[in-house]
Amino acid sequence: MHITCPNCSTKFSLPDEMFKDGAQARCTVCDEVFPLIQTSDEDVAVELQKEISLSDQAEAKETSAPEESYDALIGDEGTFGLGDKPKKKKSGNGCLIFFLTLLLLGGAAAGAWYLAPELVRSFLPKEEVAKEAPVSAVNDVSRISLKNISQYYITNEKIGQIFVIEGDAENRFGVPKELIKVEATLYDANNAAIASKKQLAGSSVSLFQLQVLAVEELADALNNKVEILTNNTNVMPARSVHFMVVFYDPPKGVAEFGVKVIEAQNPPVQ
C-alpha cells in the first residue's frame, strides 16, 4: 500500500502488515512524523499500490522502504523511517580549488625557503627552528664549499719570498658551523706533495703586512684568537668566512697546489 507524507506529499510503498494501531512513520525527506492509520485528528492518505509509469513520475516521488529490514526501522516509540535519506551530490570543483590553493601555498613557501631561508626562520619560534634544523655530524665538512681561491708569491723584506693561498669557505649546511679549518698542500711536477699546512679560517693580513712583518708577527696575526672567534663562529647557512695560508719558506719546484676543508664544528647547544 501507499502512504503519503502530509507535510511534503512524498509517497512511500509499505506492506500491509506495517499498518498497525499506533504505528508511526518518519519521512526521510522532511523528517515529518505522522501516524500510519487514520485517527480522528489526522487524515492519512492510504491507497492501493499501483505501478508507476513515466507519467506518474512527474506528479509525485515515491520511495520504497527496504523489504528486509522493516522491523529494524521501528524505534522505541513505534516510529520507523521510510526509505533512505537522499544523498547530496558531491561537487568536485570545491576539492579541485582546495587542492590548487594548497599547491600554490606550498610552492610559495618552498620558494621563500629556498630564496631567503633566514627570513623564514626569523618568523619561526626558536623551538621550531631547532626542531626543523637537521643535525649534522660534529666534523662533517661535506657541504663546506671553497670559492674565490687565489695563490701568489710575494717578497717579504725580512723573510724573502713567501707563498700565499687565500679564499672563502662557504657554509652550505642548513645549520650554523664554526671553527672551519683548511689544509693547503703544495705539489711538484710529479704531483707529489712537498709541503702542507693547516690553518683556521677567520683571520688574514694585508698586502703591506705580508711584505714587512717577520715570521712570528705573521703567525700571530693569522692565529689571532679574537679575530677567529669573531669571524669563524656561528657561521650561518649561505655565509662565508675568509682564510689565508702562508708558506714562509716554500720549497723549490712547486708546480701545483691544493686546498681542502678538514674540519667544521657545530656550535654548542644553548
pLDDT in tens, 151-182: 999 999 999 999 999 999 999 999 999 999 99
Section 23-31 average pLDDT: 82
Which residue type is seen at 160?
G
10-35 burial: b if 16+ Cβ within 10 Å, else e: bbbbbeeebbeeeeebbbbbeeeebb
Number of domains in the chain: 3
Q: What percent of the chain is modeled with pLDDT above 70?
A: 67
* Alpha-helix residue ranges (DSSP H) falling in the chain: 54-57, 92-115, 117-122, 126-132, 207-212, 215-222, 225-231
- For residue 171, give the CATH number of its domain: 2.60.40
Is 28 part of a structural domain of the chain?
yes
Same domain, 154 and 119: no
Q: pTM of the full predicted structure?
A: 0.51
- Give the domain extent around 105: 92-132
Confidence (pLDDT) at 208: 96
Confidence (pLDDT) at 124: 55
Is 137 part of a structural domain of the chain?
no
Q: Is the pLDDT of residue 246 over 70?
A: yes
Confidence (pLDDT) at 34: 78
Is 138 part of a structural domain of the chain?
no
Q: Is the pLDDT of residue 35 over 50?
A: yes
